[in-house]
Structure 1
Amino acid sequence: MMIKEKQVSQAFYQFILPFSWKAGKIRNFILYLQKNQFTSFHLNELQNESAYYGGYQVSHSEMESFFLPLTSQFLFPSSGHEKGFQRFTKAFSMDGLLSTTELKLPFLIHSIDLIICPYELGFITVRTEIKDVSLSNAIEFANQINWKDFEDLLPDFSTFVNWDSPPPFLEPDKMHIQSLLQFANEEAIDELDVFRSVTLCGGDAGNHEYITNYVQDHIYSRWVPNTYICVNEHCFTCLTNSSNPNLMTLAKSFYGENYYLHLINLFNKLVFVKIAHLYSTIHIEKDYNKIEKLIYFINSFTSNFFFAEYPAKLEGQELFKLFKRAYNIDSLYLNTKETLFSLFKYEENSVTKKDSMLLLVLTLYTVICGIFSMNLFTKDLEGKIHWSHFKSYNPFEYFAVFIVFSGIIVVAILGFQSLYQVIQERKNKKQWDEQAVISSRFPKKSN
């Protein structure tokens, strides 16, 4: 297909980079963000509705109502002491320049989000804007930008994240892209424009039938032909030829509800993939503690953070379905349910075998003690013990002594072992809960 170059008057990009934070450093991480003028994000702080978005505004009340009744609880915790997405944001309002051998493109950096999520996951979001460029250059800009272009804005940030040894379920330096493109002069938008924007194909168009099928599989067509929304596994893009008043409405959703829809589904995908990775590393006959941890991990995630219900509004429901399909959430969820079932079956069988063995040992002791009992030598334990009497015992009496005292030792060991397991389980669950919830570890903001 022939590419007809078009002009973009404004292009807004949110570059989202998932990362893994280092366990045990969360407190210092928060203090680091506060020291570097990152402000915790809360919906009741209405002065921040227009603080981070390059002159555009979001509505905190609409964001909250959009995600009712369930997801708003963990998306927008009212304080740093509650479980959920802890977002810290800093306005930059500074100029940047993308310079390559073929392109020099100035852009604006509006703000950066640091979102610390449960399960040692997090997101960096960099909000940028470019003006008056061709669609090809806007696509090239999205293709060329990576975290290394911005890392100087967060000195020493690598101290708190696993940059050098990222978990295998994360793609190092792979930024997910959310874009809002306004075409100049209300120029018509076609399927090729949508395809190129969401796949970041600068000059490779392909055949018309393939492009049509691809766009139809990934598009939200409610406002076509003036506005197209398209989602795949790496990009969320909104293309519009609407005038500025309508652009304000689109920008409000772009920076607000759609941003969090994107984060929710990206978070769900990463957690499900992390579960699959952890399951693949378990040695089923040896790693009982890892099995317990993974079961707790799955249950805490599905009960606290994963919901089958959609946002209350129809638009939210439809967009949520689009994101879920793009990130293959339903399939990942089914795989996780099968993993949990397998772990439960193994744990059940393991506990049954352990209980059977314990019952066998105790039964043998009970039967043998019932046969020999302490009757063979209890008379020698009355009053002052005469140890010299033990020298005259016959083999059966010695065996009875051995059975009785070894039984006492076994029961004592089992009692101490059970007590240790209870203490260890409580300790483990507290540690796992801190990784899953992270709320109780947040320090209060210093004055």
Structure 2
Amino acid sequence: MEKGNVKDQTKRSFQQFIFPFMLEEDRIEGFVKRLLKDDYVFLKIDDLDLQDDFYGDHKVSHRNLEQYFMPNLVPVLFPNSYKKKEGMRRFSKKMDLGCTFRTPFLNTGFIINSIDIIICPFHIGMINIRVTLPERLSYNDVLYFTDTFRVLEPITDDEKEMKVGCRNNEYDLVKDFIFKELIPPAEKFIDHEEDHPSYFGSLPFFVDERMFALSYIALPEDRDITKTDLYRLSQLNGYDNDGEPYVGALNPKYIDRHYQERVYDRWGEETYFVTSEGHFACVTRATGKLEAQLASEMYGQYFYSVLIYFFYKIVLLKLAHEHSLIDVEKDQSETELLIFMITEFSAKYLFAEVNSTSTGKELFHITKEIFKIEPLYQEVKETLSYLYQNQDKLSGKSSNYLLQILTIYTVISGILGMNLHIEDLKEKLTLKDYMNYNFIEWVAVLVTISGLIISFIMGFLFLKSWLREQKSRKKKVL
């Protein structure tokens, strides 16, 4: 049942839904092997045969995609081997799977074009699902579908009545549809944090049980695009509880302010880009080659630009969350690992400029602002400074205590050992000779022997701890 009239019909639309999760530390490479076994293809930017394999009727130019980003970011976004753990490794599978979506307000088919599994540093994984909706759905229907489908577990009453059908199966939860129908092996590689069982995928530091959505909506040439349309697109306002078109704001001044903050209107009246915390969208009245180009860029350049900032946001939230779990006075090794993780992220992954074109810089500056990358990074930098200060204090105390102990040993062994016992070491001594030692001489022997034993033990423990920390640091990131 479609709620929109003929004038409200879209020409075509497609969506991409990104679901982030945490991977189990020791099973990441096992997950990679399983994906390759299940016919997922590792995306190499220099493999031009993959340019039109995963995007329905569209094609993504790999050359344009590579040139769109700063050179120092390209190895992170497009590693040249699936063994390059430092990059965001993308594994894709073409599906072209017909499915159904049924709720009290909308009953429609849709196609799952393909699925990406993106394995990122810091044990972060992302699932990206590409969906194409039928042509000539109403604008309201497109917003409603996007808003409802991205809910992994239902919250409102109308979401609870949703059914997703595929093959001969039907699901009440999008989460079950994804992990039982589309990628059944993935769930056992996900890190389910015991302290937060209510958070599927163990992201207790992240927003809620909704996927991030990217939408491309092509409208007829004679369809006006109003600020209210763009506001609804930003917030994914589809239908209210009565099944009527819904607008989440009534104040025109509020909608104007929202427009100024979140809408990129360089090609206004024809094409607009909208960003919110949970949605990035392009709505256009363009035709012909320009329309095809915009669709291609939504699958390519714009998708990857959103993806890198989305990755930044998740890692920064993860680092802040890790800090909240640490007792800096007791968990010194964990504190050092967190310092390493923050430093590694800042040095290798977080770049002030992502896009190489002026348009990209302007457009995704809005995304960067909406995702609050700078405030989150400032918070993490302050955390790093705080951790360094505490580590210096604790290290200073530990060094002082150790120095006092070693000084006592040095003084005692120097006075007693050198003056009373060193000459005896030049000769062969029997057990009987040792038994003739007086109390002071026995103290010298015990201090010397215990000092040597303690030195060997401390050296062994230091080397063992250093090797373990080097291994742990690498595993914490990759």
Normalised by the length of structure 2, the TM-score is 0.86
Partner of 2:444 in structure 1? 400
Q: 1:251 aligns with which of 274, 291, 295?
A: 295
Give distance in 2, aligned partners of 1:391 and 1:93.
Answer: 89
8 A contact 2:78–2:88 mirrored in 1 = yes
Query: 2:235 aligned with 1:199, yes or no?
Result: yes
Give distance in 1, aligned partners of 2:291 and 2:423.
Answer: 97
Output aligned runs, 1:333-344, within 5 Å. Answer: 333-344=377-388
Range moving further from structure 2, 155-164 or 41-50: 155-164
SS of the counterpart of 2:63?
A: helix
Give distance in 1, aligned partners of 2:61 and 2:396.
Answer: 55
Give distance in 1, aligned partners of 2:471 and 2:20.
Answer: 29
SS of the counterpart of 2:399?
A: helix
Query: 2:333 aligned with 1:289, yes or no?
Result: yes
8 A contact 1:177–1:236 mirrored in 2 = yes
Q: 2:257 aligns with which of 213, 222, 236?
A: 213
Q: Give the CA deviation at 1:288.
A: 1.4
Output aligned runs, 1:256-405, within 5 Å. Answer: 256-405=300-449
Change (3 A) 1:165 1:201: closer
Q: 2:111 aligns with which of 108, 111, 117?
A: 108
Q: 2:34 aligns with which of 32, 35, 38?
A: 32
Query: 2:188 aligned with 1:153, yes or no?
Result: no
8 A contact 1:380–1:389 mirrored in 2 = no
SS of the counterpart of 1:303?
A: helix
Query: 2:261 aligned with 1:189, yes or no?
Result: no
Q: Which amino acid aligns with 2:354?
A: Y
Partner of 1:410 in structure 2? 454
Q: Give the CA deviation at 1:263.
A: 0.4
Cα distance per residue 1:18-45 (max 9 Å; x no partner): 1112221122212221222211111111
SS of the counterpart of 2:267?
A: coil
Q: Give the CA deviation at 1:268.
A: 0.2
Give distance in 1, aligned partners of 2:106 and 2:334.
Answer: 50
Give distance in 1, aligned partners of 2:431 and 2:419.
Answer: 17
Q: Give the CA deviation at 1:369.
A: 2.8
Q: Give the CA deviation at 1:189.
A: 0.4
8 A contact 1:53–1:111 mirrored in 2 = yes
Partner of 1:8 in structure 2? 10
8 A contact 2:341–2:473 mirrored in 1 = no
Partner of 1:442 in structure 2? none
Range moving further from structure 2, 161-170 or 203-212: 161-170
Change (3 A) 1:340 1:263: same
8 A contact 1:20–1:166 mirrored in 2 = yes
Change (3 A) 1:76 1:14: same
Cα distance per residue 1:42-70 (max 9 Å; x no partner): 11111221121111111100110111221
Cα distance per residue 1:300-319 (max 9 Å; x no partner): 21111111123221011112
Give distance in 2, aligned partners of 1:165 and 1:252.
Answer: 31
Range moving further from structure 2, 218-227 or 367-376: 367-376
Range moving further from structure 2, 383-392 or 72-81: 383-392
Partner of 2:202 in structure 1? 166
Change (3 A) 1:415 1:185: closer
Q: Give the CA deviation at 1:156.
A: 2.6
Q: Which amino acid aligns with 2:11?
A: S
Q: Give the CA deviation at 1:256.
A: 0.6
Q: 1:122 aligns with which of 92, 109, 125?
A: 125
Q: 2:65 aligns with which of 63, 66, 80?
A: 63
Give distance in 2, aligned partners of 1:46 and 1:378.
Answer: 77
SS of the counterpart of 1:132?
A: coil
Let me know the Cα RMSD of the aligned residues.
2.0
Give distance in 1, aligned partners of 2:112 and 2:452.
Answer: 72
Q: Give the CA deviation at 1:378.
A: 3.6
8 A contact 2:51–2:60 mirrored in 1 = yes
Q: Give the CA deviation at 1:391.
A: 4.3
Give distance in 1, aligned partners of 2:38 and 2:426.
Answer: 76
Give distance in 1, aligned partners of 2:222 and 2:132.
Answer: 19
Query: 2:90 aligned with 1:87, yes or no?
Result: yes
Gaps of 5+ in 2: 151-173, 193-199, 239-245
8 A contact 2:101–2:109 mirrored in 1 = yes
Q: What is the total number of aligned residue pairs between the two structures?
A: 432
Query: 2:178 aligned with 1:134, yes or no?
Result: no
Range moving further from structure 2, 167-176 or 245-254: 167-176
Q: Which amino acid aligns with 1:182?
A: A
Q: Which amino acid aligns with 1:73?
A: P
Partner of 1:422 in structure 2? 466
Cα distance per residue 1:244-270 (max 9 Å; x no partner): 332111112111110001100000000
Range moving further from structure 2, 204-213 or 135-144: 204-213
Give distance in 1, aligned partners of 2:307 and 2:323.
Answer: 24
Cα distance per residue 1:114-144 (max 9 Å; x no partner): 1111111111111112221111111110111
Gaps of 5+ in 1: 438-447
Give distance in 1, aligned partners of 2:257 and 2:466.
Answer: 57
Give distance in 1, aligned partners of 2:347 and 2:219.
Answer: 43
Q: Give the CA deviation at 1:272.
A: 0.3
8 A contact 2:409–2:447 mirrored in 1 = yes
Give distance in 1, aligned partners of 2:430 and 2:227.
Answer: 100
